Amino acid sequence: MLVDARDVPLVKNGITVLFGESGIGKSLAGKALFGLLDEEEYRVVVNGESYRDYCSRPEVAAARQNGFFMFQEPSSHLNPLQTI
């Protein structure tokens, strides 16, 4: 299992941030939640259902329509050696 996000609230009209070290799967998890993964490239199961079934759910379509997904831009990533 890559992510167990059952207790992470995705609030309507709110902002949810997925923050962590480089390479731990943040972008992959975000793409999966928005239904943006290539089914041929990944084997994904969401809450016990196939990715195809998950992606066909109305709430996933609404997330794509009403939300946004910001992809990581490597040249501007946080440097863990710098203080904030």
pLDDT single digits (tens) 3-28: 776 777 777 788 877 777 778 888 88
pLDDT band, very low/low/confident/very high, at 80 (cuts 50, 70, 90): low
For residue 56, the model assigns a pLDDT of 94
In a domain? residue 56: yes
Query: For the chain, how many structural domains are there in total?
Result: 1
In a domain? residue 74: no
In a domain? residue 76: no
In a domain? residue 83: no
pTM: 0.68
Q: How many CB atoms lie within 10 A of CB 70?
A: 8
**Does residue 69 contact residue 34 with C-beta atoms inside 8 Å?**
yes
Compute the average pLDDT of residues 58-79. 73
For residue 58, the model assigns a pLDDT of 93
DSSP per-residue codes, 9-67: ---TT--------TTSSHHHHHHHHTT-S-TTT---EETTEEHHHHHTSHHHHHHHHH-
For residue 78, the model assigns a pLDDT of 60
In a domain? residue 82: no
In a domain? residue 30: yes
**Does residue 10 contact residue 17 with C-beta atoms inside 8 Å?**
no
Range of the domain at 24: 1-69
